[in-house]
Amino acid sequence: DTAVSQTPKYLVTQMGNDKSIKCEQNLGHDTMYWYKQDSKKFLKIMFSYNNKELIINETVPNRFSPKSPDKAHLNLHINSLELGDSAVYFCASSQDFGGGNEKLFFGSGTQLSVL
């Protein structure tokens, strides 16, 4: 059973469209994250939720809106997609929020290509 699963694996779309990426974890963890990995493989945190509450919101355009319906799910909705949004987006979870010392379990990523 996949511990952290995200869908879709690949997402190809036109500029200006709205799209969502879904993430679910079956580890019983309290904290979930969205990370963005650019073409140079740099992995940068976007958001973090602890028990459905937003705890980290890095400098991300407000076109990106995370939603956590329960602590096992963290979805990412992106409005008005731009070329620069093309990247691999990773969902992750941790047992709890460790102030940067948490051990992360990652999903396999969603490759977003904006044309």
Partner 1 sequence: TQLLEQSPQFLSIQEGENLTVYCNSSSVFSSLQWYRQEPGEGPVLLVTVVTGGEVKKLKRLTFQFGDARKDSSLHITAAQPGDTGLYLCAGAVYSTLTFGKGTMLLVSP
The binding site for partner 1 (CB under 8 A) comprises 4, 40-45, 48, 56, 58, 90, 92, 98-109
3-state helix, strand and coil shares in percent for the chain, rounded to the nearest 5:
5, 55, 45
User: Is there a contact between 71 and 30 (Cβ–Cβ < 8 Å)?
Assistant: yes
Distance CA 80, CA 100 (A): 31
Q: How far is the CB of 88 from partner 1 (least distance, A)?
A: 9
CB of 28 or CB of 99, closer to partner 1: 99
CB of 107 to partner 1, least distance (A): 5
Computed over its alpha carbons, how large is the radius of gyration of the chain?
Answer: 13
The amino acid sitting at 63 is R
Tell me how far, at minimum, the Cβ of 55 lies from partner 1, in Å: 9
Which CB sits closer to partner 1, 14 or 59? 59
Q: Specify the residue, 68 or 94, whose C-beta has the smaller distance to partner 1.
A: 94
Amino acid letter, residue 100: G
- Structural tokens at position 107: 């999903």
Q: Which is nearer to partner 1, 17 or 26 (CB)?
A: 26
